[in-house]
């Protein structure tokens, strides 16, 4: 697979102080693709999210992604939206995201990123939100409806606080936008595997590899693939060309149906797929 110069200084490659980059590089050094697990905060309650996050970290996840439940999650499919609706109905409020992040980072050394639609951040204030996230030990933000073009304030504040900025790239992303997005990202670049929303799929399709290759060519050192991944077989397939694999819906469904123990079990199963085939190891 592609090798990348390690002294690239653009923001897209800047690993210095990046918790997400460190987690992915650690996996790489062990000959693995990083495993990234997603759960929405407050589903069904805050303590369970913390327990499930810790369980993921103890069973093979390198990076934890915690979503803020939001009223209008346009990039999410039914399973995740149902979970976030329940979290909100159970009284989740945005400031509790910092309790979740702190609860997990205190108990494990997994990097914890927050996945959030942009309005809740804007409402609290980008700076206030970022400072509280940093204080809670959070690594940074994954922003599904914020493109770098609109992110001036977040670029500035995240730079100042050393927070990761994970923007998305998609099969439809033009070469110019790919370059701009890679350059604006910090930690890793999130490659959307298919044109669609979150939800388990039996196959993530060939488009994903093309997106990852394009991001690597644009200089991204770490590209992780999300949307639709639900089995260790898919983790293995994607891990062969990507630097990390993101699993969401399958973990949410596991938590819904079997609680924290089911999350731990699925994480163990998924993590059996992360070993890179020897020829592909880039460590």
Partner 1 sequence: MTDMHQDSGLQGADAGAADAIDAGTAEAFLSHDQTLRHAPGPYFGAYGGRWMPESLIAALDELQDTFEKAKADPEFTAQVAELNKNYAGRPSLLTEAQRFAEHCGGVRVFLKREDLNHTGSHKINNVLGQALIAKRMGKTRVIAETGAGQHGVASATAAALLGLECVVYMGAEDTRRQALNVARMQLLGATVIPVTNGSQTLKDAINDALRDWVANVETTHYLLGTAAGAHPFPSMVRYFHEVIGDEAREQILEQTGKLPDAVCACVGGGSNAIGMFHGFLDDRDVALYGFEAGGEGVETGRHAATITLGRPGVLHGARSYLMQDEDGQTMESHSISAGLDYPGVGPEHAYLADIGRAKYEPITDAEAMEAFKILSRTEGIIPAIETAHALAGAMKVGQRLAADLAPGEQASDKIIVVNLSGRGDKDVATAAGYFDLLPDDSAEQEIAQEGEQL
Catalytically annotated residues: 65, 76
Is 88 among the residues that bind partner 1 (CB under 8 A)? yes
**Cα–Cα distance between 100 and 145 in angstroms, integer?**
22
DSSP per-residue letters across 110-167:
-EEEEE--HHHHHHH-HHHHHHHHHHTT--EEE-TT--GGG-HHHHHHHHHHT-EEE-
Is 126 among the residues that bind partner 1 (CB under 8 A)? yes
Binding mask 35-74 toward partner 1 (x if CB under 8 A, else -) reads -----------------------------------xxxxx
Piece in contact with partner 1 (CB under 8 A), picked from 26-34, 41-49, 142-150, 249-257: 142-150
**Cα–Cα distance between 231 and 124 in angstroms, integer?**
37
C-alpha pair distances (Å), 20 with each of 26, 65, 78, 172: 10, 10, 28, 25
Q: Output the six-digit token pair for 79.
A: 């399973």
Is 249 among the residues that bind partner 1 (CB under 8 A)? no
**Cα–Cα distance between 261 and 268 in angstroms, integer?**
11
Is 33 among the residues that bind partner 1 (CB under 8 A)? no
Backbone phi, psi, residue 238, to 5°: -75, -40
Nearer to partner 1, 42 or 60 (CB): 42
Nearer to partner 1, 95 or 280 (CB): 95
Compute the least distance from the CB of residue 56 to partner 1, in Å: 25
Piece in contact with partner 1 (CB under 8 A), picked from 106-114, 174-182, 247-255, 273-281: 174-182
Site for partner 1 in 251-270 (CB under 8 A): none
Do the strands 34-40 and 164-166 form a parallel or antiparallel pair, or are they unpaired? unpaired
Q: Residue 37 is inside which H or E element, if any?
A: strand 34-40
- What is the binding site for partner 1 (CB under 8 A)? 70-75, 77-78, 81, 85, 88, 93-94, 118-124, 126, 144-147, 149-154, 167-174, 177, 181, 192, 195-197
């Amino acid at each position: 697979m592609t090798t990348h110069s390690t002294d690239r200084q653009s923001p897209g490659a800047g690993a210095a102080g990046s918790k997400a980059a460190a987690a992915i590089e650690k996996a790489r050094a062990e000959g693995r693709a990083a495993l990234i697990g997603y759960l929405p905060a407050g589903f069904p309650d805050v303590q369970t999210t913390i327990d499930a996050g810790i369980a993921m970290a103890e069973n093979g996840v390198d990076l934890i992604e915690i979503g803020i439940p939001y009223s209008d999650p346009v990039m999410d499919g039914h399973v995740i939206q149902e979970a976030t609706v329940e979290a909100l109905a159970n009284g989740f409020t945005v400031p509790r995201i910092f309790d979740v992040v702190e609860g997990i980072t205190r108990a494990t050394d997994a990097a914890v990123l927050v996945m959030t639609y942009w309005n809740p951040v804007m409402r609290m204030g980008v700076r206030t939100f970022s400072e509280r996230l940093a204080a809670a030990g959070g690594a940074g933000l994954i922003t599904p409806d914020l493109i770098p073009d609109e992110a001036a304030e977040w670029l500035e504040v995240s730079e100042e606080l050393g927070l990761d900025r994970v923007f998305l790239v998609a099969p439809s992303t033009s070469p110019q936008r790919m370059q701009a997005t890679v350059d604006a990202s910090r930690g890793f670049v999130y490659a959307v595997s298919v044109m669609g929303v979150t939800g388990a799929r039996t196959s993530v399709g060939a488009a994903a590899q093309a997106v990852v290759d394009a991001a690597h060519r644009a200089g991204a050192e770490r590209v992780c693939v999300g949307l639709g991944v639900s089995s260790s077989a898919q983790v293995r397939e994607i891990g062969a060309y990507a630097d990390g694999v993101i699993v969401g819906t399958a973990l949410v469904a596991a938590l819904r149906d079997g609680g924290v123990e089911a999350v731990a079990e699925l994480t163990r199963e998924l993590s059996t797929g992360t070993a890179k085939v020897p020829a592909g190891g880039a460590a």
